[in-house]
Amino acid sequence: YLFLWERASLNSQYAVPSYPNIPGLETFSGKVIHSHEYRHPEDFKGQTVVLFGAGFSGRDICVDLHTFVDKIYLSHHIPNLDALLPDNLRQVPDIKSIDKGRVVFTDGQSVEADVLMLCTGYLYDFPFLTPECEVVVDRKRISPLYKHILHTKHTSLSFIGVVWTISPFQLLACQVRFAMAALDGTMVLPSRTDMDADAQCDYEYRRDELKYPHHYAHKMDHLQWEYDKELLRLANVVDDDGATLPLFKELYDATNCLQTEDLVNYKKRIIEISDDWTSWQVL
């Protein structure tokens, strides 16, 4: 496909690291890096590493590191992972402070560490947009966006891929077709007032019903499947490339289950899909 858009923001969602405010961080005598800088597990051979954050980056990196490092401490505030974990990995609470070479956790325990790796996500950043574009980024919420895509005032300005925790290829395909329908007139947009109200309703549903924090304004996860269908319905297009096939939700859920059971080996599992894309099995 070749997409020629009037204005599209292929956003830099994974370019600017988010650094947490940890008391005493500047005193740490070891090495501090963000997961954005991580490249080779061999660089940490024989060391003790504290990973701060147990999102996708933190979990993947601890698996990558475990055969090279001496010890891994995975610091986070989510419920402890019940998956099969590396023998040299220990889960610990959030970091409270840093005291030179020691990392102090919220339960009072502390460890000596050679490396503190911050797996703390990224910030949205649009340095190429001028103030006249009237884009507001408030703690991971971008506004004013209709359906997480279209600027409600400058409707030829589209943001593709600001949502997260998704099955990306299918969802992004739906977003692209939605944006194209807005540009070529296939879709008649609501008024700006109605689009702003829709965006606010979406935010309040996340905040009040799902109990999401503010910075989860663009998180999808289980919401993505109906969202994909809604985008195509509003765009008045037929899903002729299968982006909303039930198979993708099934595979997404199955992969999450495999990860929950065996964090170390789940990526080695092979999934066989039928020729007609209606069934699958884990080999």
Q: What is the pTM of this model?
A: 0.88
Segment 89-109, tens digit of pLDDT: 999 999 999 999 899 999 999
Q: How many CB atoms neighbour CB 40 within 10 A?
A: 10
The distance in angstroms from the start CA to the end CA of the chain is 33
pLDDT of residue 3: 39
Rounded to whole angstroms, what are the CA distances from 165 to 123, 128, 254, 256?
Answer: 15, 25, 15, 11
Segment 168-201, tens digit of pLDDT: 999 999 999 999 999 999 999 999 999 999 999 9
pLDDT of residue 75: 97
Low-confidence ranges of the chain (pLDDT < 70): 1-12
pLDDT of residue 6: 43
pLDDT of residue 32: 97
Look at residues 140, 144, 148, 146 and name the one whose alpha carbon lies nearest to residue 124.
Answer: 140
| Domain parsing of the chain, residue ranges | 7-12+124-235, 19-120, 246-282
pLDDT of residue 14: 79
CATH architecture of residue range(s) 19-120: 3-Layer(bba) Sandwich (3.50)
Cα gap 225→54, rounded to integer Å: 25
Instruction: Annotate 235-270 with b (16+ C-beta within 10 A) or e (fewer).
Output: bebebeeebbeebbbebbeebeebbeeebbebeeee
pLDDT of residue 10: 53
Instruction: Annotate 191-213 with b (16+ C-beta within 10 A) or e (fewer).
Output: eeeebbeebeebbeebeeeeeee
> Strand pairing partners for 75?
52, 92
